[in-house]
Amino acid sequence: MNNDKLIIAGHEFNSRFILGSGKYSMKLIEAAVKDAGAEIITLAVRRANTREQESILDYIPEGITLLPNTSGARNAEEAVRIARLARELGCGNFIKIEIMRDSKYLLPDNQETIKATEILAKEGFVVMPYMYPDLNVARDLVNAGAASVMPLASPIGSNKGLATKEFIQILVDEIDLPIIVDAGIGRPSQACEAMEMGAAAIMANTALATAGDLPMMASAFKNAIEAGRKAYLAGLGRVLTRGASASDPLTGFLRD
Amino acid sequence: MENQFFVDSEYLTPEALAKKHRLETDPSFRRNHMEYLPKMEIIESDVCANVMAQMNSYDYSKYTAADVKAALEHDNCTIEDFKALLSPAAEPFLEQMAQRARLETGKHFGNTVYLFTPLYIANYCENYCVYCGFNCYNHIKRMKLSMEQIEKEMKVIADSGMEEILILTGESRGQSNVEYIGEACKLARKYFRMVGLEIYPVNTDEYRYLHECGADYVTVFQETYDTEKYEQLHLLGHKRVWPYRFDAQERALRGGMRGVAFSALLGLADFRKDALASALHVYYLQRKYPHAEMSLSCPRLRPIINNDKINPLDVHEKQLCQVLCAYRIFLPYVGITVSSRESAEFRNGIVKIAATKVSAGVSTGIGDHESKYSGKETDEIQGDEQFEIDDSRSLDKMYEDISEEGLQPVLNDYLYV
């Protein structure tokens, strides 16, 4: 287990819980990071672009990798501009691409996401695209230079869990990059289930933001994600999905 | 009970007074309010017909407690559900509605509350809207800020920490033309992260120009969707043209604005019908322009200079809260703004339920930010207010109060791209 690292573009992480920061008080960020054991935290560039005395950046503990996102972008061109701004703001090389042309469900625009991934990967960004789970798009993202693929479980903020389960499983099975399940995970049990399926990591925000005790919920997610990962490594997926082996072989009647 | 809106100023000439009285008493003297004036752009759109068909057929008395309960049980709120939630039958369910609204707000906005402040740069107005402090027959101190004065105001506001500004003018193309407003937007981009506009409706190409100057959000209040009532309240001027105003948001989006805001002024007409129409205006436009950001306000009538009796009639705080909860349940993804027309207590309560944006450090007067923010006496001329505000908290105080409620005040969540 100790050697089980999440590797994104050569960067190693022990934690498989990526923490969102957009919907709760900055003062809770530090506690959440600690109790979640998180090593990556997302940050909306549009939120960081503030003159506020207490910048959100001040609350990110040392040693944490910032994953700025391009929320607010409506097409590839805008996402590219926001990513470059993130770099200028000192947010590092990681970038989570979020491109939405829909203000109601905030569903990602896969086509534009591929375009932005290609441009930003060439510019040396570690590109982590948020996408609707479509195998062909995931392959295009791999070819465009993505460092991971981040399919949505259900609409952002919906807390509806793994509505796209079958399609995420296909990505897990077919794509060699880490598959990080993002959006819609409302409960630790859902995070656990995604990890059992072979997801490389989980990203959550609203589920924590709307919890009564945010740090405690962060810790619950941490445990669930670790449990799901262990189950996956222990081979649960094989038992559940491919069936246990029968004690009497079905093919025992066959002669040499 | 109706509001008594007509007030005669002693400063009006006999001719002006005669015209005012004739406008007030003789409908045939007034221009057809459904007819566009020259230079007003007409766009092809079915949004208005959809909204009006729903509003005209809305009989809120037919909804029962059972309809309200069903609406609250549904995962997705349909138009029929929304109509039930706005009906009198929903009044006993206000607490349940608030619980549900709070859940929806949390899902979409978490604990965040956005802060902004309005900046009035001119209060000249060519219209006679009988309930408004800026109306052309009301005797108030008129003023239009120069670019130097605007910049001074902006500096004072920016120094307070504010990052989002809403620029407002009275509705006078003559006094405050589009270029003047555009120059103000360019200045605002220097001092603020986000620039919104609440000005007279303009054509698509003018919205495009203002967008290029730095504005990205346009607010136009329809005041009332009841066209006959509108006719009786807006007696003179460009604003009298109801359909041109209705299509303003759509023109703004076509002109490249990121977002648009809507509202009826509650207390002018049947508030349930106006609330229905406001939300459906958002609903149908969102279906047509899914990328656009939408927000709703919910202002109630307030007293004005020279008429302190104006009030929102049957729209008490409970009704206002019902409307806001219904908005939130029907349109969980839209921003909801509650202005300083409402009391501090109401605003503290409603941000925990449905509202996602509040103003702070508000003045609805012209050129008075320095004196209002610092308490400093000034010899400079200031223009009068559009209406009386209720909640006069400063940005610092508002920030502190919101934080104390366990919410997260946000000064900026926006990039101009």
- Taking all residues of chain A, what is their mean pLDDT, rounded to a whole number? 87
In this structure, what token pair is assigned to residue B417?
């791209």
Interchain contact, B161 vs A51, CB within 8 Å: yes
Which overall architecture, per CATH, does domain A6-238 show? Alpha-Beta Barrel (3.20)
Which overall architecture, per CATH, does domain B14-53+88-410 show? Alpha-Beta Barrel (3.20)
The whole-number pLDDT of residue B302 equals 84
Does residue A1 have a pLDDT over 60?
no
Q: Which of A50, A101, A206 has the CB atom closest to B107's CB atom?
A: A206
Interchain contact, A23 vs B286, CB within 8 Å: no
Domain coordinates in residue numbering, chain B: 14-53+88-410
Domain coordinates in residue numbering, chain A: 6-238
Query: B144 pLDDT band (50/70/90 cuts)?
Result: very high
| Mutation for testing the B interface, residue in A77, A104, A187 having most B CBs under 10 Å | A104
Does residue B307 have a pLDDT over 90?
no
Q: Is B244 on the interface with A (CB under 8 A)?
A: no
Shortest CA gap A239–chain B (Å)? 35
The whole-number pLDDT of residue A96 equals 96
- pLDDT single digits (tens) B182-230: 999 999 999 999 999 999 999 999 999 999 999 999 999 999 999 999 9
Within 8 A by CB and 6+ apart from B10, the residues are B139
- pLDDT single digits (tens) A18-44: 988 766 666 677 777 888 888 998 888
Shortest CA gap B411–chain A (Å)? 7
> Which A residues, 131 through 160, put their C-beta within 8 Å of a C-beta on chain B?
157-159
Residue among A120, A78, A128 nearest A99 (CA): A78
Interchain contact, B106 vs A159, CB within 8 Å: no
B293 chain-A contacts, CB cut-off 8 A: 103
Q: What is the mean pLDDT of residues B262-284?
A: 96
Q: What is the mean pLDDT of residues B285-296?
A: 95
Interchain contact, B290 vs A101, CB within 8 Å: yes
**Bridge partners (DSSP) listed for residue B262:** B220, B296
The whole-number pLDDT of residue A246 equals 59
The whole-number pLDDT of residue A178 equals 96
- pLDDT single digits (tens) A204-231: 888 887 777 888 888 999 999 999 999 9
Residues of A annotated as part of the active site:
96
Q: What percent of chain B has pLDDT over 90?
A: 73
- Cβ–Cβ under 8 Å, residues B383 and B142: yes
| Mutation for testing the A interface, residue in B294, B413, B414, B416 having most A CBs under 10 Å | B413
- pLDDT single digits (tens) B121-135: 999 999 999 988 888
Q: What is the mean pLDDT of residues A75-87?
A: 94
Stated as kind and residue range, the H or E segment containing B227 is helix B227-233
**Cα–Cα distance measured from residue B328 to residue B362, given in angstroms and rounded to the nearest whole number:** 25
Per the model's pLDDT, the better-predicted residue between B250 and B139 turns out to be B250
- Taking all residues of chain B, what is their mean pLDDT, rounded to a whole number? 93
Q: Where are the alpha helices (DSSP H) in A37-100?
A: 45-48, 76-88
What distances in angstroms separate CA B143 from CA A242, B120, B153, B277, B376, one per listed residue? 78, 10, 14, 34, 20
The whole-number pLDDT of residue A25 equals 65
The whole-number pLDDT of residue A249 equals 72
Stated as kind and residue range, the H or E segment containing B396 is helix B395-404
Shortest CA gap A81–chain B (Å)? 7
How many CB atoms neighbour CB A228 within 10 A?
25
Q: Is B109 on the interface with A (CB under 8 A)?
A: yes
The whole-number pLDDT of residue B384 equals 85
Interchain contact, B411 vs A50, CB within 8 Å: yes
Q: Which of A23, A49, A103 has the CB atom closest to B110's CB atom?
A: A23
Does residue B30 have a pLDDT over 70?
yes
Does residue B358 have a pLDDT over 90?
yes
Interchain contact, B417 vs A78, CB within 8 Å: yes
Q: What is the mean pLDDT of residues B379-389?
A: 82
Does residue A49 have a pLDDT over 70?
no
Does residue A253 have a pLDDT over 90?
no
Q: Which of A48-62, B69-83, B93-107 has the lowest mean pLDDT?
A: A48-62
The whole-number pLDDT of residue B5 equals 87
Q: What is the mean pLDDT of residues B142-153?
A: 94
- Cβ–Cβ under 8 Å, residues B86 and B329: no
Query: B364 pLDDT band (50/70/90 cuts)?
Result: confident
Shortest CA gap B111–chain A (Å)? 5
Q: What is the mean pLDDT of residues A187-211?
A: 91
Range from B65-69, B159-163, B407-411 that averages highest in pLDDT: B65-69
